[in-house]
Structure 1
């Protein structure tokens, strides 16, 4: 800040120096004015001016130093009160702009909330006829047509479900209920939902649960598992998908989903959880949205679940969920 302060006052410093040099110049050309006393006066004047700058420095920069460290909370009470008319002008404009931004932000938040509520309401309304369609499909006698309709119904169901959870994720902290969740019933339910798709592709499941229960939120864990299973089924052909759980040497529970599909390019592994990212290997796959893994990772982070991935092109992919210990939830949720 000292350098900026000197730079700000550079014109004044230059003016004082020029005036002192002018006095010395006049004393040098006018023999009636003694030069040495004048040089002594100039020296004292410069000392007084230097002391004045040092004394004024903290007073004139206090406001700006505080402004430089101002956080983004829009709380102007943390800024030191202005000590000069020009600082008052700055403060007045800051207050006006802050009030304007607060008003605009409130309006945008209210608008987003309204749009979110409308979309959530629409999704729930669509689910009613979708459920009726499922019952009608189950009553059909034409098995080949029934399986095709079930698959298309499943795709619509998964898209709506993902959209619903995408809108809920920003407020996930308000929707958590941590409890002991049984893994096997949860996996069986999610696999049954994907039955039509799996039958079409000839995919089976091999389940092995060494750890039967984990401490987490059942609804959001089901959503995470749904995204991993959907990804595994999507990129696999006529091969079993393995789901296994266990416990690490340090007492941390884990569960992985392993497929034997096309795998992920090594250069893509660090980006697969980014919003909207799709494989660079099959970039022409327009059906991919790049949202499933992104949403699963966000939900996992909110649950303090660490998600890791291992993959090799042509050999399949393994997504592993590392569940936190109970004391980690106490720290995360502030219990």
Structure 2
């Protein structure tokens, strides 16, 4: 900060030195002026100017230092009181800009809330005809047509569900209700919802649950499991999907293993990125690139760690590592 201050005041410092040199030069060309007296005056001037510079540094630097150290937020309380006219101009300008930003942010937040409410309302409205469509599909006698219609119905249903959770995930902290839940009930419920799709593709489920009780949120863990099972079914053909849970180091582990097309090694680190689909299957229009992104984001809020192992054309294994019970309780109580 001293260097910055000296650079800021360099014109004044240079002027002072030039004036002292000018006095010495005048003494040099005018022999009637005693050099020793001028040198004494120059020395005293240097001393006084140095003291003045130190005093002004300590006084002027407070405001600028508080600006440099302040956090990037709308709070001006930690900024030192502006003393000089220039500092007051800066302070007023910052206060005005922050007020404008606050008003703009408030308007944008209200608009975002209204947009979210409208979309959520629309999604719920669409679910009514979807339910009616399901009843109509159940009455179709041709099994092939019924299977095709059911598949398309499921796609619409899951896309709406994904969109619903995408809007809710920004406010997930307000939507969490942590309780003891039964993993088996949730897993079998999600498998039943995929039943017609699995029959069409010749896919079965092999479920082994050694540990079923976990401490988490019902809605969001169901959404995470739904994304993993949907992905497993989507990219598999005529094979089983293995779902198993067990306890390791006082943590519940849930694995979803499929034997589908797998994930390219260069894509592994990017599959949880927003909007990322694949670098190998460019013609695959079924993927939105949002399912795993949302699942991973929701998992972080639930302190669940998701890992993946995959080999191209051999399948993938997604693992959910639930937090230790005492760790969750400790963090939740903070």
TM-score, normalising length: structure 1: 0.97
- The answer on whether the counterparts of 1:263 and 1:313 sit within 8 Å (CA) in structure 2 is yes
- Aligned-CA RMSD value: 1.1
Q: What's the secondary structure of 2:73's corresponding residue?
A: coil
State which drifts further: 133-142 or 238-247. Answer: 133-142
Aligned to 1:261: 260
Counterpart position of 1:13: 13
Match of 2:97 in 1: 97
Alignment of 1:39-54 (within 5 A): 39-54=39-54
CA distance in 1, matches of 2:239, 2:129: 34
| Offset from partner CA, 1:123-149 (integer Å, 9 cap, x none) | 000001100110111122222111111
- Matches of 1:182 and 1:80, distance apart in 2: 56
Structure 1 range deviating more: 64-73 or 251-260: 64-73
* Distance in 2 separating the partners of 1:282 and 1:40: 85
The Cα offsets for residues 234-284 of structure 1, whole Å up to 9 and x where unpaired, read as 111111111010011x21111010111111122221111111111111133
For residues 261 and 46 of structure 2, the distance between their equivalents in structure 1, rounded to whole angstroms, comes to 78
Give the superposition deviation at 1:72: 2.6
Separation in 1 of the partners of 2:146 and 2:296?
34
Question: Which residue in the other structure is 2:221 paired with?
Answer: 221
**Other structure's SS at 1:266 match:** coil
Matches within 5 A, 1:1-335: 1-248=1-248, 250-334=249-333
Q: Secondary structure at the match of 2:278?
A: coil
| Equivalenced residues, count | 334
What displacement does 1:160 show? 0.3
Report Cα offsets for 1:285-322 as digits up to 9, x if no partner: 23321100000001000000011111121221111000
Q: Name structure 2 gaps, 5 residues minimum.
A: none
2:208 is paired with a residue whose SS is strand
Following TM superposition, the consecutive aligned residue runs of length 4 or more in structure 1 with deviations greater than 6 angstroms are none
CA offsets per residue over residues 142-192 of structure 1, 9 Å max, x none? 221111111110000000000001111111111111111111121111011
Q: Is the 8 A contact 1:304 1:332 kept in 2?
A: no
In structure 1, the residue corresponding to 2:269 is in which secondary structure? coil
